[in-house]
Amino acid sequence: MDLSRFAINQITTKNWTLAQAVDGYARAGVPGIGVWTEYADAHGASAAKLIRDAGLFVPCLCTSAWVNLTDKAAFASALDENRRRLDLAADLGAKTLVVVPGSLATGEKDLRAARARVSDALEELLPHARDAGVALGLEPLHPMYAADRSCLSTFAQCLDLCERLGDGSGIVADVYHCWWDPEFEAGLLKAGPDKILTFHLCDWLVPTRDVYQDRGMVGDGVIDIARYRGILDEIGYDGPFEIEIFSKLDWWTRDGDETVRVAVDRCAPFVAPRPTPALA
Ligand code: ZN
C-alpha cells in the first residue's frame, strides 16, 4: 500500500486541533494534510514548523475569504485577507489556495454580476498568487451552493476562467461537487494533468440528509471513484488525492483515530501511484 499521494483534509476530523490532526495523520502513516486557515490561525505562527517537523506535505490551504461584497471598501479588505491567506499557504508549503469565493451579495439577485465580481477579484489576486508561488485553485461547488458559498458551479466554467487567468490558477476537483455533471469527464480530459491541482474524495449518500454536512465516506455512496481514477491515469495526473468529509451526522461524531483508520482503508485502492506503462 503506497500512500505517498494521499492526504486527509483536516475538516474530516473537525474536532481535532491542527496539532492533533498532524499527530493523528502521521501516526496512521498518512503523509499529507489539507489545512484550513482557521485551524492554522488558532495554532499560531509555528503551524508551518509543526507540519514540517512531522514530515507532512500540504496539498492545499482551505479556503479563500468570500469576495461577494458590493461595498468597495469591504471588497478591498476581502482581497487583502486573501493576500494574507496566499502568504499563509506559501508559509505552510501549500501550492494551492482553494478558492471558495461566495456568490450573491445580501439582497442581490444578479448571479452574472456575482460571477463577474469573482472573476475581477481573482484577476486582482493573481499577481500576488504568482509572487507567492501559490495557485488560485478554483473549486467548482455543487450548484446547490450557487446562492451563497460559490458562484463557481461547474468544471467547464472553472476551466474557462482558468484559461483566461493563465499561470497561477488551476482547478480543485471534488467528486462531491462534480460527479453529477455530464461534462465532468470531458472537462478532466480537456484540463490535462497540469491544471488539476488536487483531487478531493468523498461520496454522495442516498439519501443525503444535509447538503452541507452529510458527505459520505469513500465507498458508502454512489460515486464511481474508480472510473475517475482511470481518467486521471489516462491524462497523466500524478498529483495528490485528498479525502474531505463534512459529516455532522456521522464522522464528526466519531473518534478521530477511527475516522482516519477507515479513511485510509477506503481510499488506499484509489490513491496509489500511477502505473508506469510497460516498455514495448
Ligand atoms: Zn473539496
How far does residue 239's CA lie from ligand 1's centre (Å)? 15
Going by pLDDT thresholds of 50, 70 and 90, the confidence category of residue 280 is low
How far does residue 141's CA lie from ligand 1's centre (Å)? 8
Summary mean pLDDT of the chain: 97
Radius of gyration over every alpha carbon of the chain, rounded to an integer in angstroms: 18
Q: pLDDT tens, 69-91? A: 999 999 999 999 999 999 999 99
How far does residue 34's CA lie from ligand 1's centre (Å)? 10
How far does residue 243's CA lie from ligand 1's centre (Å)? 8
- Ion ligand 1 residue ranges (Cβ < 5 Å): 174, 200, 244
Phi first, then psi, for residue 96 (nearest 5°) are -135, 135
How far does residue 210's CA lie from ligand 1's centre (Å)? 16
Examine the pLDDT at 279 and tell me if it is beyond 80.
Answer: no
How much is the pLDDT for 190? 98
How much is the pLDDT for 276? 79
Could you count the other beta carbons within 10 Å of the beta carbon of residue 263? Answer: 26
* CA atoms of 155 and 172, how far apart (whole Å): 9
Going by pLDDT thresholds of 50, 70 and 90, the confidence category of residue 114 is very high
How far does residue 280's CA lie from ligand 1's centre (Å)? 38
Phi first, then psi, for residue 57 (nearest 5°) are -95, 160
How much is the pLDDT for 278? 64
How far does residue 158's CA lie from ligand 1's centre (Å)? 14
How far does residue 111's CA lie from ligand 1's centre (Å)? 22
Examine the pLDDT at 24 and tell me if it is beyond 70.
Answer: yes
How far does residue 109's CA lie from ligand 1's centre (Å)? 26
Q: Where are the alpha helices (DSSP H) in the chain?
A: 18-27, 37-43, 47-53, 72-92, 111-132, 155-165, 175-178, 184-195, 225-235, 256-267
How far does residue 3's CA lie from ligand 1's centre (Å)? 19
How far does residue 200's CA lie from ligand 1's centre (Å)? 5
Q: pLDDT tens, 196-219? A: 999 999 999 999 999 899 999 999
How far does residue 140's CA lie from ligand 1's centre (Å)? 9
How far does residue 174's CA lie from ligand 1's centre (Å)? 5
How far does residue 173's CA lie from ligand 1's centre (Å)? 7
How far does residue 264's CA lie from ligand 1's centre (Å)? 17
How much is the pLDDT for 50? 98
Q: pLDDT tens, 215-255? A: 999 999 999 999 999 999 999 999 999 999 999 999 999 99
Q: Where are the alpha helices (DSSP H) in 33-165?
A: 37-43, 47-53, 72-92, 111-132, 155-165
Going by pLDDT thresholds of 50, 70 and 90, the confidence category of residue 182 is very high
How far does residue 175's CA lie from ligand 1's centre (Å)? 8
How far does residue 123's CA lie from ligand 1's centre (Å)? 22
Examine the pLDDT at 27 and tell me if it is beyond 80.
Answer: yes
Question: Cα–Cα distances in Å, from 216 out to 26, 68, 261?
Answer: 23, 29, 15
